[in-house]
Chains A and B, each alone.
Chain A
Amino acid sequence: MHSSTLRRFHESRLFIASIVLLALATLFWPAREMRSDNFVFYFPSSRRLLPFETIQNTKYLPLLQILNAVGKVGGLQEKKNSLKVWFGSAQIELRPDESKVRVDGTFLNLPQPVRVSNGQWVVPVDFLTTVLPRLTRQTVEYQEGTNRIFVGDVKPSSFTVRLDPLANGARLTVQFTEKVAVRTASSNGKWVMFLGDHPIEPMEAGYHFQNPYVSDLQFDDQDGVPKLVLSPTSSGLNFYPMLAEGGKILLADVLKPPPAVAQTPQPGQLPATPATTPSAAGPTLPPSEELPAAPPGPPLPVVVLDAGHGGAEDGGRSRDGLLEKDLVAQYVARVRLALLATNQYRIVLTRTGDATASFEQRALAANLAGALYFLSFHAGDVGAASPRITVFSFQPAAPPAPVTKKTPLPNFIPWAQAQEAHLDASRQLALALRKQFALINGVNVDTPATAPVRTLRSVNASAVAIELGRLAPDADSTPLTNPAFQQQVATAVVQALATLEKGGT
């Protein structure tokens, strides 16, 4: 072989080796995860969309756009490694890759560093709660994890969601805190319900259902227009939306189409022409007009059923791998059906499916619904005996201050102390439940106890936590998953509430 050919062979081998090395380096280079989306700033009479980037799982917003949205930037001085911004009477100083922001000489710490992305100074979303309130005299309300912020005197409404099975479909009930004007449209095989102009802060961004007709409901305001997007499980279903209680309740029935010959309209309440689910490739229907309001039904007492944990919060776990969040959801489902069968209560669930719900969201669901009773279901290690039930009412960390004649009555109940006004009623509820649980054969029922249960703290209603046991890593969950036992618990709850309604315990 020629020496020049040999050299070329070695060079090409070296070249290939270099390419492979570079490819490996690129492969293992720490990925800087980036994604763009919108963040909505709601003001009393306007709203503004700001694009945000997600950098290493943190949302980043452009600093100057934030400041210009809430006020006016007076001037700025940008150097290679710092940025000074004059905003109103305040002076802000930032440095790239540093978590400290200097505002009028005071250092404020952000959990993540300031960055310069594509030549633009961006700040982590915590800037909105850490620094922004110092810069503006307007109130700033931001709920962590969401993509919206309310600046100034903005009172967003909210809503709760429930899905009930029907004989040939499912009924979605969305209860709003304020009246809404709904118009519907369909798009890509989904139904979109536009909720008017009023800002809305949802308690959950999405709800997933284990239902043969409806798979999920998502709230979306990425374009500044609040809307709900309902996804059916299959095409060809009919959608019958209607408003009730003057626009505070949206009822949407998702029904299997009736046989072609025997097509009869639904009794009284539904629009004459239902919107049919288009296939994904099919044409979208034009938005329908504002929906007619239906006559309000008689008000029923509200029972809020709270299945503990959910989502990433598993709670306890049994030896056979059963999670507390799944077990208590089974009990809640049974109790719900048993209570609905009485036609005496309206039921509100604090979570549907395996959704994550914070303690505040659970209390909010109960307080917005005007709950009469709040029952929170849990399972845990309760000692050797199983099945065992203990009913807990709330115990404040320190005894509530005694009310004297001189103590002025508060105009507002502090959110964190809402349950303290119901301690006696909650104990009555615990006693009534305990009495009925004790009638179940083979169950160990403890005397009602008190405990600082976090879920109950802000509930403005008679509230208890029912702990079932024994769910522990060294215990078998069979006694708790027995359907007959679960049904007996549900029946006992119905009996206890009925007794209380009649004035007994």
Chain B
Amino acid sequence: MSLRAKIFLLILLVVLGAATFYLRSLAKRVFIEPTRHAEETARAKLSEFALQSKKGSSQTATLYFPSLEQGKLVPEGYSITWAEANVDRVRQVVLALAEGSHQGLRRVLPASTSVRAVFLAPDGTAYVDLSNDVLSEFPPGIETESLAIYSLVNSITMNIPSVKKVQFLIQGQEVETLDGHADLTAPFAPDPTGIKSGS
């Protein structure tokens, strides 16, 4: 084989190698990423469905938003048209909290937080799987994390009586803490003592 042919073969091999890598990344983009995208779209539709339930009349739910100045949760009336299923109602409460207070109270969750899934166990424990957006812009601290957790737990359990406890998952995983301080390894029972009295 002539030197030229050898060089040509060598270059061909390099080009083939590069093409293989490119094809792999292309296949990933074509076959895998759309699946993820579809999953996100499905979740968004579920959330939308939960929020836009038009059956029944609108009712006033009580949501609990944190006040760091008082170290307490402050109740706020919130108009919700309840969905039929309890899991959808849980989703409605969480999304309403993510939407934020209408009275200028502190936001519990970033607006970008999505509810990946909600499961309701026969013992009344609701498993709420939040997206990891919950940690974006979240100010870490004992008080902030504790108030955020009980804001969610009290708002869910006090508006949906069949839910007795709430266990949080983040991105499908059980996590040790919310953001380094508050223990998230066990299901939470509601705690009315943290609610501002006289409200």
Contacts and interface: CB of A to CB of B under 8 A. Distances in A.
B176 A454 contact: yes
Contacts of B69: 383-385
B139 A472 contact: yes
22 contacts: A15-B3, A18-B14, A315-B180, A324-B140, A378-B181, A380-B140, A382-B141, A383-B68, A384-B68, A395-B191, A397-B186, A398-B186, A447-B71, A449-B146, A451-B181, A452-B183, A453-B146, A453-B181, A454-B177, A454-B183, A457-B183, A467-B142
A22 interface: yes
A380 B144 contact: yes
Which among B17, B69, B149, B183 has the greatest number of chain A C-beta atoms within 10 A? Answer: B183
Nearest to B137: A473
Contacts of B143: 380-382, 390, 392, 449, 451, 467, 469
Given A21-B11, A324-B140, A380-B141, A313 B180 contact: yes
Contacts of B186: 396-398, 416
B182 interface: yes
A371 interface: no
B142 A378 contact: yes
Given A11-B7, A21-B11, A316 B141 contact: yes
A385 B67 CA distance: 13
Contacts of A471: 141
A359 interface: yes
Given A11-B4, A18-B11, A381 B68 contact: yes
B139 A381 contact: yes
Given A452-B149, A453-B182, A471-B141, 5 more contacts: A11-B4, A21-B14, A381-B144, A457-B183, A469-B143
A449 to B, nearest CB: 6
* B contact face: mostly helix, strand, loop, or mixed: mixed
A397 B188 contact: yes
Which among B71, B142, B143 has the greatest number of chain A C-beta atoms within 10 A? Answer: B142
A446 interface: yes
B116 interface: no
B71 A446 contact: yes
Nearest to B14: A21
Interface string B134-174: 00000111111110010000000000000001000000000
B189 interface: yes
A309 interface: yes
Contacts of A469: 141, 143
Interface residues of A, number: 45
A316 B10 contact: no
Interface of B: 3-4, 7, 10-11, 14, 17-18, 68-69, 71, 139-146, 149, 165, 176-177, 180-183, 185-189, 191
B14 A22 contact: yes
Interface in A371-387: 378-385
A33 B145 CA distance: 39
Given A11-B7, A383-B69, A465 B142 contact: yes
B140 A452 contact: no
A396 B187 CA distance: 10
A399 interface: yes
Contacts of A473: 139
Given A21-B14, A25-B17, A383-B69, A397 B189 contact: yes
Contacts of B183: 397, 452-454, 457
Nearest to B146: A451
Contact of A11 (B3, B18, B141): B3
Nearest to A309: B180
Nearest to B9: A18
A246 to B, nearest CB: 37
A396 B189 CA distance: 9
Contacts of A25: 14, 17-18
Interface in A296-324: 308-309, 313, 315-316, 324
A273 B164 CA distance: 69
Interface in A13-39: 14-15, 18, 21-22, 25
Which among B18, B141, B143 has the greatest number of chain A C-beta atoms within 10 A? Answer: B141
A316 B146 contact: no
Contacts of A313: 180
B30 to A, nearest CB: 21
A-B pairs, top 4 by smallest CB distance, nearest first, are A380-B141, A383-B68, A451-B146, A381-B139
Contacts of B7: 11, 14-15, 18
Contacts of B144: 380-381
B193 to A, nearest CB: 8
Interface string A90-132: 0000000000000000000000000000000000000000000
Contacts of B165: 398
Nearest to A471: B141
A353 B199 CA distance: 46
B189 A398 contact: yes
Nearest to A383: B68
Contact of A316 (B17, B140, B149, B189): B140
Contacts of A15: 3, 7
A491 to B, nearest CB: 23
A395 B3 CA distance: 78
A313 to B, nearest CB: 6
A380 B11 contact: no
A467 B71 CA distance: 12
A375 to B, nearest CB: 13
Nearest to B193: A450
A395 B188 CA distance: 10
Contact of B189 (A399, A455, A467): A399
B137 to A, nearest CB: 9
Interface in A29-86: none
Nearest to A473: B139
A396 B144 CA distance: 17
A379 to B, nearest CB: 8
Contacts of A21: 11, 14
B18 to A, nearest CB: 8
Contacts of A381: 68, 139-141, 143-144
Nearest to B182: A452
A70 B1 CA distance: 56
A384 B106 CA distance: 12
